[in-house]
A and B are shown apart, each in its own frame.
Chain A
Amino acid sequence: MAKVKIQGHASGTGVLTVTAPNTSTDRTITLPDATGTLATTADTFDPDGAVVINESGADVDFRVESDNDANSLFVQGSDGSVGMGIGTPDTSTYFGKVLHLAAGSNVGIMFNRTSSTAAKWSVGCNSGGSLVSAKEGVAQFEITADGRGLSQFTAKAWCNMNQSGTQAIQDSHNISSIQDDGTGLTRFTFTNNMGNVNYAGSLCSNWNAAQGLENTSVSYVESAIGALSGGYVDKDDVTLIIFGD
């Protein structure tokens, strides 16, 4: 057995006390192999007090491991990036520093009001690459990877086009093409099909015309523009807006 040596300070009067716990079971303190200095009172870890990890600012990582995740919490010493579920937290090319949550499946953060109006809202990324806001497990709003907004309050498609002369789409969203079916008649084909035909749409053109829509297909909607004097007529600045599932 190695020697045990306890030595008092040459000039100090303080008393070193080792107190056994109030138990009949033995307790053991194992010292490390390397030489070390126990912290002073000021440096002592106090769970009730402020705690600083890596106060010297060294380029060293901080990591908390769980039963199934080696990087439940990770702070990257080199740049301060913080990750959860990832040991190589990234920065955003748009935002710069971000909290990087990562998982092999859907991942997000939850906001939970716990009062009498309790509600759990989560925002996260699903397997399709969409950003989804969900309440109690039901998606309420989704921004798809290609930038479409899926909800009851965002336009599913819109288009601004010219019928006269060389037909052209000035700008659009979720419209892949327009089909010229004759004077004043246009079919707008959706890039991504609607969920059903019970969607609502509105069509406008410039002055002196009457216009209507016929939404009998999930993949397109057809429009007709008539002159007030009778017959169909081509118009410029024809605009379409579609809401629905």
Chain B
Amino acid sequence: MKIIYSTTNKDGETILAQMTPAPKFLATLTGTDEEKMIHLANKDLPTGTKYEITDADLSDRTFRNAWEYTAGASEKTSEDLSLDDQLKYNKITQQEYDDANGG
């Protein structure tokens, strides 16, 4: 499974991006394959990014830079991670975590 979405690359081009998960990272997650991909999207995509989870064959890269993202019926939107996960992934400090929890 991969995650596809629209992004602007380092050269300023709007392009379809495909996100491939690291097997070792997926192995740390629980739930269905789709739930794991949703967690990955929430973690690695900016919040609010429209994306789709796909099994499409993207191996033919002949015209790679011409790929465009078109929203499909199963489009999802990335969401914020929980505070626990943000702390776990070192996205916030322990102090920020404690402050957010009223500590």
Residue of A173, A177, A214 near B20 (CB, 8 A) is A177
Complex Cα gap A177–B91 (Å): 16
Residue of B23, B44, B88 near A169 (CB, 8 A) is B23
B 42-82 to A, binary, CB cutoff 8 A, 1 in contact else 0: 01100000000000011101001100000000000000000
How many residues of A are in contact with the other chain, CB < 8 A?
34
Q: Are A176 and B44 in contact (CB under 8 A)?
A: yes
Q: Are B19 and A178 in contact (CB under 8 A)?
A: yes
Query: How far in angstroms is the closest Cβ of chain A from B11?
Result: 8
Determine whether A76 belongs to the interface, using a CB cutoff of 8 Å to chain B: no
B 8-36 to A, binary, CB cutoff 8 A, 1 in contact else 0: 01110101011111111100100000000
Determine whether A191 belongs to the interface, using a CB cutoff of 8 Å to chain B: yes
Determine whether A77 belongs to the interface, using a CB cutoff of 8 Å to chain B: no
Contacts of A198 in B (CB 8 A): none
Determine whether A106 belongs to the interface, using a CB cutoff of 8 Å to chain B: no
Please list the 3 inter-chain residue pairs (A to B) with the smallest Cβ-Cβ separation, ordered nearest first: A181-B9, A193-B90, A176-B25
Contacts of A168 in B (CB 8 A): 20
22 CB contacts below 8 A, A to B, read A166-B59, A172-B25, A175-B22, A176-B25, A176-B43, A176-B44, A177-B3, A177-B19, A177-B20, A177-B40, A179-B7, A179-B20, A179-B44, A180-B18, A180-B20, A181-B7, A183-B65, A189-B44, A191-B25, A192-B89, A192-B90, A220-B44
A 171-201 to B, binary, CB cutoff 8 A, 1 in contact else 0: 1110111111111010001011111000000
Complex Cα gap A175–B40 (Å): 11
Residue of A165, A167, A176, A189 near B18 (CB, 8 A) is A167
Determine whether A222 belongs to the interface, using a CB cutoff of 8 Å to chain B: yes
Contacts of A234 in B (CB 8 A): 61, 64
A 192-221 to B, binary, CB cutoff 8 A, 1 in contact else 0: 111100000000000000000010000110
Contacts of A126 in B (CB 8 A): none
Q: Please, which residue of chain A has its CB at the minimum distance from the CB of B25?
A: A176
Q: Are B21 and A176 in contact (CB under 8 A)?
A: yes
Residue of A169, A175, A180 near B17 (CB, 8 A) is A180
